Amino acid sequence: MPQQVSPYAILEGQYELHETIGSGGFAKVKVATHILSGEKVAVKIMDKRQLGDDLPRIYLEIEAMKQLSHQHVCKLYQVLETETKIFMVLEYCPGGELFDYIVERDRLEEDEARLFFRQIASAVAYIHSMGYAHRDLKPENLLLDDDQQLKLIDFGLCANPAGGMDQRLATCCGSPAYAAPELVSGHQYLGSEADIWSMGVLLYALLCGFLPFDDENLGALYRKIQAGVYEKPEWLSAGSRDFLHTMLQVDPKRRITITQLLNHPWIVLGQPHGVDATSKYKTCGVDEDVITEIAVHQGKSRVAVRQAVCRWSYDYLTATYFLLVTQKMKGKPIRLIQKVTPLGEIPSQRTPARCLMEQLNKEKPVDVPCGMPNSLGNSPRGLHTSLEGGLDDIDLLSICKVTPIDQLVDKVVGKTTNPELELTPLVSPKKRRPPSVGDDDKENFAQPRVPTPGHKSRKKATPSTP
C-alpha cells in the first residue's frame, strides 16, 4: 500500500504538534511543543494552493515579523516551507484574545485599561518606528501571555510604505468598526494616523465593553464613523473622555500623534515617565548565556554557535535561540532538554539535537556584525528577497476588507456570508464559536461572527460632540 506522507512531516523531530486553537481564512493555528526546550509555541499553518494570489501577502507578513522584536509583538521564531505549506512558528500566548478578556468582564476598570493600553501604545509606537503600520488593530489581534502581557498579532494587513511612514496609502483594510474616517471615505491616508484612530476605538472598547461606532448596516456604520459622534457613558472619567477625544478626531491632522500619545497625562498617570516604546530584546549582539547553553548542549564552540545564530535563518536554531532568550527574560533558568537516546532508537532518526546540529554545521560564513536581525538593517531573507521593501500598496488591493463608503450599496452585514464584510462587535462568550480541537487534517474555515447588539447592560450615556 502506498504510504501517505503527512503534510506536517517537516516538523518531525523539531516540534510535537497538539490541538488546533484557531482557524479561518487560509490559516490554521495549532499549539506545539518545541522539543529541545520543552516550550510551547503556536504554529500558523497555511496552504499555498488555497492562498493563490494572496501568497505574496504572506511573504510580506513573514518579512515584517522577521524585522520586529518587541516585548508586546508576538515573536516569529521559525519559518518552514514545503511545496504546499508554509509554517510560521510563533510565540505562544496562553491567555488568549483580549477580546474574550473584555467580554468576560463586561468592561475594564480605568486602571486596568490603562495597564493594557500602555502596552498597546508601546507596541504600536515600536512598529511605527520600524516603518510599519498595522492597519488591523482590534482586541482580537491582541493576545495575553501568562504574565498579563499583551502581544500584537496578525501582520497580514500591515503596510511598509517604501517612502516611509509619511507616504500615503490607498488600500482600505482592517475591520470596519475600527476603520478611520479617511479610510472608509476611500481617501489616501497615513497608516500611522489610521492606527491611532483604531487605538481610540480599542480604548473605548476596553473602557465601555462595546464599540463607539456600531451598526449592522455597513453604510450606516460608515456614516457614524465619518460623523465621529459617539456616546460617552457616565462611568467614563473626564480624563478618559479627553484622551478618547484626542484619538477619535475625524480630521487626521487634528488627531494626537503617537509621540504625544505616549506622554499624554491619561497614559502617564501613576508613572513617573511616559510609555517606553523601546524593545527589551537585545538589539545589539547576541545573548552570551544562551550561546553558551546551545554550545554546551551541542558540544560546539561558542564561536561556531554565535556565527550560526547570526545567520538569522529563521530555522530551528533561530527558534531555539529566541526561546532561550525568552526563558531568560522571564527569569527562568536557560535550559535545553538533555534527551538520553533510548536503547533501540534508530541512529538515523530525526531528533531535535540532530536538527540543530545540521544547522550548526552549515558552511556559510557570515561577514556581518552579529546582532538581532532588525539591528543589522540587512535582515535575513529566507524567503523571496524580491519582495524586499514591501509590495506597492496598490498590490494589496485584493486584500481589501473595508469597502469605501462611495462604493457601498448599503449591505446588511449580519446577513452576509462574506467574512470580509463582517462587523466586529463585542459579543458574549457563549455566542463565540468553540475552538476546533482535534480536527487535525481537514481544513476548516471560520464562520463570520454573529453580530449582536453591542450595547448590553449599558448605563446612561451622553453623546459626544464631533
Instruction: State the binding string over 87-116 for ligand H91 (x if CB under 6 A, else -).
Output: ---x-xx--xx-------------------
* 111 or 147: CB nearest ligand H91: 147
Determine if 42 is a binding residue for ligand H91 (CB under 6 A).
Answer: yes
Residue located via cell numbers 453604510:
219
Identify the residue among 8, 15, 26, 44 touching ligand H91 (CB under 6 A): 44
Q: Which is nearer to ligand H91, 24 or 285 (CB)?
A: 24
Q: What residue type is 233 in one-letter code?
A: P
- Please say if 393 is a catalytic residue: no
Name which of 46 and 353 has its Cβ closer to ligand H91: 46
**Closest residue by Cα to residue 308 from 299, 317, 319, 320:** 317
Catalytic residue among 100, 136, 145, 287: 136
The nearer residue to ligand H91, 24 or 186, going by C-beta atoms, is: 24
Q: What CA–CA distance (Å, rounded) separates 116 from 131?
A: 23
- Which residues, numbered 124-143, are part of the site for ligand H91 (CB under 6 A)? 140, 143
Residue keyed to cell 488600500:
171
Which cell is 385 given?
A: 528577497
> Binding ligand H91 by CB under 6 A: which of 7, 24, 56, 239?
24
> Is residue 154 a contact residue for ligand H91 (CB under 6 A)?
yes
**Min separation Cβ 338 and ligand H91, Å:** 27
Among 11, 32, 45, 74, contact with ligand H91 (rule: CB under 6 A): 74
Cβ burial 174-207 (10 Å sphere, 16+ → b, else e): bbbbbbbbbbbbbeebbbbbbbbbbbbbbbbbbb
**By the 8 A CB rule, do 217 and 224 touch?**
no
In the bound complex, which residue of the shown chain has the CB atom lying closest to ligand H91?
A: 22
CB of 355 to ligand H91, least distance (A): 22
Candidate residues 12, 17, 22, 328; the one interacting with ligand H91 per rule CB under 6 A: 22
Phi, psi of 155 (to 5 degrees): -95, 20
Report DSSP state, residue 54. G
Joined grid coordinates for residue 61: 507578513
Least distance in Å: CB of 100 to ligand H91? 8
**Could you tell me if residue 267 is left (phi over 0), alpha (psi between -120 and 50 degrees) or otherwise beta?**
alpha
Contact range with ligand H91 by CB under 6 A, out of 85-93, 247-255, 297-305, 373-381? 85-93
Residue with smaller CB distance to ligand H91, 14 or 240: 14
Cβ nearer to ligand H91, comparing 46 with 244: 46
**DSSP-assigned letter for residue 162:** T
Q: Should residue 157 be labelled a site residue for ligand H91 when binding is judged by CB under 6 A? A: no
CA distances from 216 to 411, 413, 449, 454 (A): 9, 5, 12, 10
The helix (H) or strand (E) run that includes residue 308 is helix 302-309
Residue 422 engages ligand H91 in binding (rule: CB under 6 A): no
We find the least distance from the C-beta atom of residue 276 to ligand H91, in angstroms, to be: 23
| Total count of residues recorded for the chain | 466
Q: Is residue 165 involved in binding ligand H91 (CB under 6 A)?
A: no
Are the CB atoms for 22 and 28 separated by under 8 Å?
yes
| Distance of alpha carbon 144 from alpha carbon 152, whole angstroms | 9
Pick from 11, 29, 121, 262 the residue near ligand H91 by CB under 6 A: 29
Q: How far is CA 242 from CA 192, 204, 210, 349, in A?
A: 20, 12, 18, 62
Cα torsion for 189, 102, 268, 69, to the nearest 10°?
-60
CB of 142 to ligand H91, least distance (A): 10
Cβ-based nearer residue to ligand H91, 45 or 165: 45
Residue closer to ligand H91 by CB (options 56, 96) is 96
* Interface segment toward ligand H91; rule CB under 6 A; list 22-30, 249-257, 371-379, 388-396: 22-30
Are 138 and 202 in contact by the 8 Å Cβ rule? The answer is yes
Residues tagged active-site? 136
Footprint of ligand H91 (CB under 6 A): 21-22, 24, 27, 29, 42, 44, 74, 90, 92-93, 96-97, 140, 143, 153-154
